Amino acid sequence: MPANLDPGFFESLSAAAEVLLRATTGLLLIPHGLRAFYGFFPNSGSRILNKAALAAVLANSGYRPGMFWATVVWIVEFVAGPMLALGLFTRLAAFLVFAFMLGSTVDHARVDGYFWNKLGLEYPLLWTVAALYFVFHGGARYSIDFLLGW
């Protein structure tokens, strides 16, 4: 490290970087859910634009009954994701996101391979690892959990 860069400077920003990672990991689920469940962003490349279509795809992928698993996905994207972003019940929310993304990673690896531009595992794997970080670390100092003394 160059002599003019104080390690304390980076340490002081690490908490902000962690909040940014936690918020991003949780909040990115919302637009995905808005598209998959309510048809927002119809020109974004997905044919899954409502809950019934998502349930059919899930059932076809082996997640049966599809409507049950579509409901689980809804809970992860619209409840666990925002909770993770806020740092509320962080470990539980992160675990739900982790489990969801791990399943997605496995499915994409099995069907689409590695590269994200071919819908492969690259992108969901990164999200999986980010969620796993918060399973182990919790919400830390800048979270609702911390404010509540959890």
Burial class of residue 139, CB neighbours in 10 A (0-12, 13-18, 19+)? buried
Residue 5 lies in a domain: no
Residue 13 lies in a domain: no
Query: Of the candidates 26, 49, 46, 23, which has an alpha carbon nearest to the alpha carbon of residue 36?
Result: 49
Confidence band of 39 (pLDDT split at 50, 70, 90):
very high
Write out the residue range of the structural domain in which residue 66 sits.
20-147
Residue 73 lies in a domain: yes
Q: Which pLDDT does position 150 carry in this prediction?
A: 86
- Per-residue pLDDT tens digits for 108-128: 999 999 998 888 899 999 999
Residue 35 lies in a domain: yes
Residue 77 lies in a domain: yes
Residue 12 lies in a domain: no
